[in-house]
Amino acid sequence: MAGALVGSAIEGSAGAARGMEYVIATETGNLLTVVQGIEPRFTEADAVIVLYGSPARVIADPRANAK
């Protein structure tokens, strides 16, 4: 039984990855959250685009620097 518990714990941590949860305020005032890996990293007030899908992704908005 102890071997099964250790194996289960190792198996569970093998799939774990570091990530970030972003809370995003849309232009219409709605809030949504997206969880993804730690790269790329965004800070408050960064302009981003949310790519809807499975999984959803957040990317930098290339139009933000063009203004």
Q: What is the pLDDT of residues 4-24, one digit of tens each?
A: 555 555 555 656 778 999 999
For residue 16, what pLDDT is reported? 73
Residue 59: is its pLDDT beyond 80? Answer: yes
Looking at residue 15, its amino acid is G
- In sequence order, the 6+-apart residues with CB closer than 8 A to the CB of 55 are 35, 36
Residue 46, SS3 per DSSP = coil
Task: Note the pLDDT tens digit of each residue in 31-53.
Answer: 999 999 999 899 988 999 999 98
Contact 48, 40 (CB under 8 A): no
Q: For residue 17, what pLDDT is reported?
A: 78
pLDDT at 13: 60
Give residue for tokens 């809030």: 31
Q: Where are the domains of the chain?
A: 18-66
